[in-house]
Structure 1
């Protein structure tokens, strides 16, 4: 039985988050948590926290069964673009350039190895 966890409007670009999502896609949960724990990118901490949330959701769905014994796998993980905050930055000769501060939505699905 699969479990889902979602992270919405995290203030970093979706492209940067997809780099980490590609690293842990299809990997065992324990291995992906250890990779995220020591990854230098700043997006690794919220992604690890989201993965722990998905694991606890799976444990609640399966009547408290231990996730370590079940050989859980990151079945799917995808990153969608969230809202963009538009700002103006001063530019030469009295002009203004648009700055888009992007955010993203991350969804993780965790399931047992088939």
Structure 2
């Protein structure tokens, strides 16, 4: 990686894959949190109990949002498992979560532009 105005830092493709995985994780987390807030506001407004409101069979109005929230949570679990594999020394370059940045060979994180070795 190359810090602004500094010398390049070495980053492997596996490290860049981790950056992409974590970028996607935090994006999914933000989306899930925003969706959960909207769902909870709707639940409070309706006065429904938690179990009834989140039952897809009895809440067709919010069923799609509930399903989306579950999909985002599963995505977060999957992404975190890739990060855990990386932390144990595993290679995550080929995981689907890292494909976007792998195609370009670069990653952007906190104003740092990293290029794979």
TM-score (normalizing by structure 2): 0.28
Q: Between the two structures, name the one with larger relative contact order (CA 8 Å, sep ≥ 6).
A: 2
- Higher share in strand: 1
